[in-house]
Structure 1
Amino acid sequence: MSEPAFAAAVLSDAPPPVGADRFEVYRGSVTGALTATLREAFPAVRRLVGDAFFDAMAREFLRAHPPRSPIMALYGDALPGWLARFAPLSALPWLPEVAAIEQARREATHAADAVSLDPARLAEADPDALRLAPHPSVRLLRTRYPALSIWARNAERPDLEAAPAGEVLITRPALSLQIAPAPNGTADTLAALSQGTALGDALPQGTDHAAILACLFSAGALIERPMP
């Protein structure tokens, strides 16, 4: 049996291959370990649907998305999108967004570190010459539902329980994970900065520039782009 076929057999419910001694034990061990990884990665989702449903759902996900890497730190990155297509959860359209928040937090945790921009640099430097970029840990989500509020109620974050639908900013400056609602236009600003646009031109027209900048600086979401 080839390695891909063996991996598929491990995660399926099909009878074990003939002559595969202790295959069921190995299958149970692998499935249990991957399910535990997902439980740890998506605690709010698990709490919202219940342990039994989550474990059954995880087994379905494992079959559709077997691990692509032996490194399990970010296994489950496809879960938010998969949940949006999982028919038994069609009555919970906000759940994929909660999962996306949890996945973004994982990604921010494992992102490269960098020194966040000191706001004083804006006063010192020529605004037209200053080139900024998002901190490597920045993750920005746009939500249609109050997913941040739902996540907060299931993650012991009462300070965020009133957060509305909209943009959600996740960062990890100085190794401290942060999450907060962001003003409208923050996502577009970060996208423009990532393309090398000057700060003054990156702020979208018709948005609250002061609120966007305050959000980005308080979250340590910006770094100074190295000179070429």
Structure 2
Amino acid sequence: MTNPTMTDICSDREHVNTREAGFECLDARQAGFARALLDPGCPVPPGLVGPGGRASTKRFNVYRNNVVAGLVATLRDAYPAVARLVGDAFFAAMARIHVSSAPPRSPMMFDYGTGFPDFVGAFEPARSLPYLRDVARIERAWLEAYHAGEARALDPIVLAQVSADDLPNLRLLLHPSHRLVRSRYPSLAIWRTNVEDGLSPHVDLDAGGEDILIIRPEAEVELRLLPPGGAEFVQALADGRTVIEAFETAATADSRFDLPANLSGLIEAHAVVGFEFGPDLSLDVTRQLQ
């Protein structure tokens, strides 16, 4: 085998440089194509021509409209209560504006629209509905819970076997589908009145805020209203705090917090899938259902 000559090396480098330049050119063309799809102010991307060799504006506009309409429909399917609250025409116009600035980041379309609740909250024409963002957050949490991983709920009998001496270091493991939405408005009541056909009953906006646990322990997504201090308790558990630490956090946030009632509620909701003990115990063990 002969050693490569300087000419061979230069030729290889030129080939690599040409290939890299080709990739860069392809990336730029794809980025430009994507921008043009969502921005009607952009011209037809170069290279897209009709049978006569001219820019195929009409054909590209048809494709552009189909893409935008598909993304708007995806948002409509993900946020049905929001759409009902504002009406189809308003929702379509609002969604189109969001689509133009928020292209998909994943090929899985159920991931699309994660930033829509915050967009709704900042959308000036919807400011007369201050609860709309939180209703959208509930719907987003519902969708995430629906697609979350599976886990078997902890048998309450197993949890009851934990000794009193172990309780200070007990950490509860929550179901991977659980989501928490906190609202200054009765957003769960508003959501519930707008997810089925028929006339929506009156909801008192001055009734106070609601904290909602969204979870899918089995096949169906469930939404549960949390008692006072419950949201702080669930969030502390999710952050890896012990039950005692979570209790202190919840009781500090709301003096009405009831530990036995909240623990019973989480177990009833099948929200607890296991438990573990902290490193302070002489024997570090993890007890979790497989």
TM-score (norm 1): 0.90
Q: Structure 2 regions of 5+ residues with no counterpart?
A: 1-27, 49-55, 277-285
Check conservation: 1:16, 1:23, Cα contact below 8 A.
Answer: no
Q: Structure 1 regions of 5+ residues with no counterpart?
A: none
CA deviations on 1:19-38 (whole Å, 9 max, x unpaired) are 53321121011111111111
CA distance in 2, matches of 1:58, 1:179: 26
Q: Which residue in the other structure is 1:102 paired with?
A: 139
CA distance in 1, matches of 2:239, 2:85: 38
Displacement of 1:194 in angstroms is 2.5
Residue identity opposite 1:153 in structure 2: T
Q: How many corresponding residue pairs?
A: 226
TM-score (norm 2): 0.72
1:78-157 equivalences under 5 Å are 78-126=115-163, 127-128=166-167, 130-156=170-196
Q: Does 1:171 align with 2:211?
A: no
Bigger-Rg structure (1/2): 2
Secondary structure class of the residue paired with 1:175: coil
User: Which stretch shows the higher mean deviation, 149-158 or 202-211?
Assistant: 149-158
Check conservation: 2:35, 2:42, Cα contact below 8 A.
Answer: no
Q: Does 1:35 align with 2:72?
A: yes
Pick 1 or 2: higher relative contact order, CA cutoff 8 A, min separation 6: 1
Q: Which residue in the other structure is 1:55 paired with?
A: 92
Q: Which residue in the other structure is 1:220 paired with?
A: 270
Q: Which residue in the other structure is 1:180 paired with?
A: 224
Q: Quick one: percent identity of the two aligned structures?
A: 43
Q: Could you list the runs of 4 or more consecutive aligned residues of structure 1 that deviate by over 4 angstroms after TM superposition?
A: 161-164
Displacement of 1:39 in angstroms is 0.8
Distance verdict in 2 for CA 1:86–1:105, change over 3 Å? same
Secondary structure class of the residue paired with 1:170: strand
Secondary structure class of the residue paired with 1:115: coil
Check conservation: 1:143, 1:166, Cα contact below 8 A.
Answer: yes
Displacement of 1:69 in angstroms is 1.1
Residue identity opposite 2:93 in structure 1: A
Q: Which residue in the other structure is 1:16 paired with?
A: 43
